[in-house]
Amino acid sequence: MFQKALAKERGEGNLEEAIALYKKVVAETKDESLAAKAQLRIGICYEKLGMKEAQKAFQKVIDNYPGQ
């Protein structure tokens, strides 16, 4: 699912769909490293969209995945 989200983001430029898929990865994966990467990509997508949510998304990476 992470790869599908990456394709939506980078290949298609569909950032909203990518965010939805990345959020699903964060919610469903047991792989903390993958969840951290997905959360980071959420922040990057929000940043590309010029949305304030980017800061919150980046903060979640720091708060929820300090060892990553």
pLDDT digits (tens, 9 = 90+) for 35-57: 999 999 999 999 999 999 999 99
pTM higher than 0.75, yes or no? yes
The rounded distance, in Å, linking the Cα atoms of 38 and 2 is 7
Question: What would the pLDDT profile of 12-43 be if each residue is shown by its tens digit?
Answer: 999 999 999 999 999 999 999 999 999 999 99
The rounded distance, in Å, linking the Cα atoms of 34 and 50 is 24
With beta carbons less than 8 A apart as the criterion, state whether 1 and 21 touch. Answer: yes
If pLDDT is split at 50, 70 and 90, which confidence band does 68 have? confident
